[in-house]
Each structure stands twice: as structure tokens, then as C-alpha cells.
Chain A
Amino acid sequence: GENVEQHPSTLSVQEGDSAVIKCTYSDSASNYFPWYKQELGKRPQLIIDIRSNVGEKKDQRIAVTLNKTAKHFSLHITETQPEDSAVYFCAASRNAGNMLTFGGGTRLMVKP
């Protein structure tokens, strides 16, 4: 089955700096890669996703890049703000499959 590894497990940045979280996946047939944000005590919520037919996607301060050859994808947050502090999860699935496999999560702390 699919295996998704996520690094780092914790990340501390100063407000205004950029943050990068990286994930690798094992199943070359995976073609959907979402990112979820989970604030303390809350439910996970989708913040951005990318499909294998594109290499990069942006939404305001958030971007995701995908390298299919190397089987890794990354989340980039620019101009970080204290409200970006949360746990971020990457995930991967294949179109014909029925399982979304999550990485172990990254706790991002943005210091004011």
C-alpha cells in the first residue's frame, strides 16, 4: 500500500518568514495530493490540493509543488502569520483507489 512520510515533525519560524513542509510517497500510481490544516482541538480542513497533471499550484500565500519523478511534494507558506500556527498534514491517493493515506503531520509554530 501507499506510504507517506512527512518532514519536519515540528517547525518554528518567525512571523513574516517562509515555511516549507515536505512529503514523500511510495506509490507511483498516486495522483491526488491534498494538504490539511488542523488547529488545536479542531477538525482537519483542506487548504490546498494538487493533482499529478500539474507541477505547482498557488492560492495567495500558500503553494504546493509536485515532483512526480522523485515522488515528493511540498507545501510552501510565505509571509507567515501567527494564525498559521497549526498541524499540517499531507496525504496521497490514487484515482481508482479508495484510501487517502496521511503523513504523520508537521506542527508549525509562528512566533510573533
Chain B
Amino acid sequence: NAGVTQTPKFQVLKTGQSMTLQCAQDMNHNSMYWYRQDPGMGLRLIYYSASEGTTDKGEVPNGYNVSRLNKREFSLRLESAAPSQTSVYFCASSPHGVSDTQYFGPGTRLTVL
């Protein structure tokens, strides 16, 4: 099993550009999450999908949108990137919600100039 995979690993954008971060898991997990990690601030939840067909806002959703394409895939879109969105983005999945072990992907390092 590959676990949780993310693409791309690195990305540099100019202010105002858009892009989609891709995430997929092959563990048949119901729940998926997108976090951002900034220095000294831990991991903050952007959006989550408790199950296929549902998505909800997390702690810091402004400037982002998500799509739960199917049970395996959960994408994060930045419509108009801003320098404040420079961060490392992690996707995670868990079998049945937040009280299960979350398995993280390798992360995407995004820089917005």
C-alpha cells in the first residue's frame, strides 16, 4: 500500500495564480483532511471530509476550496493565491473520523511570491 500520496511535492506560485493540490489514499478510509503547517503554529485544519460526498470547513478555510472526488481522492484548490498561503500542506486520512489514527501524506511545500 502506498498509504497517503500528495502531488506536487513543491510548487512556486505568483500572487493571484490558482492551483490544485491532489491527495489520494489507498487504505479505504472514510475521512480525509487538509492541514497547513506554519512554523511555530502546529497543524491547522483547513477543510475535512468526514465521508464520501461531504465536506466541511475547518479552522482556517478562507481562500481555499475542496472536492471529495470519490472515496480515495480529496483535492484542495487555491483560487487566487496570496503570500499568506505560503506554507506546507498536509493531507491526512483516518478510518472513521477524528478519534482514529490519522495517516499523513508527505506534504506539499508551497511558496507564493
A95 to B41, CA, bound (A): 24
Chain A interface residue count, CB cutoff 8 Å, equals 25
B106: chain A residues at CB < 8 Å are 42-43
> A14-22, A44-52, A60-68: which lies at the B interface?
A44-52
Query: Does B74 belong to the interface (CB within 8 Å)?
Result: no
B95: chain A residues at CB < 8 Å are none
Determine chain A's interface SS by DSSP, over half rule: loop
Q: Is A102 within 8 A of B42, CB to CB?
A: yes
A98: chain B residues at CB < 8 Å are 48, 50, 56, 97-98
Q: Is B59 within 8 A of A44, CB to CB?
A: no
A1: chain B residues at CB < 8 Å are 59
Contact code string B31-68 (vs A, CB < 8 Å = 1, else 0) = 00100000011111100101000001011000000000
Chain A nearest CB, measured from B24 CB (Å) = 15
- Kindly report which residue of chain B lies nearest to residue A33, judged by CB atoms: B99
Chain A nearest CB, measured from B88 CB (Å) = 10
Chain B nearest CB, measured from A65 CB (Å) = 19
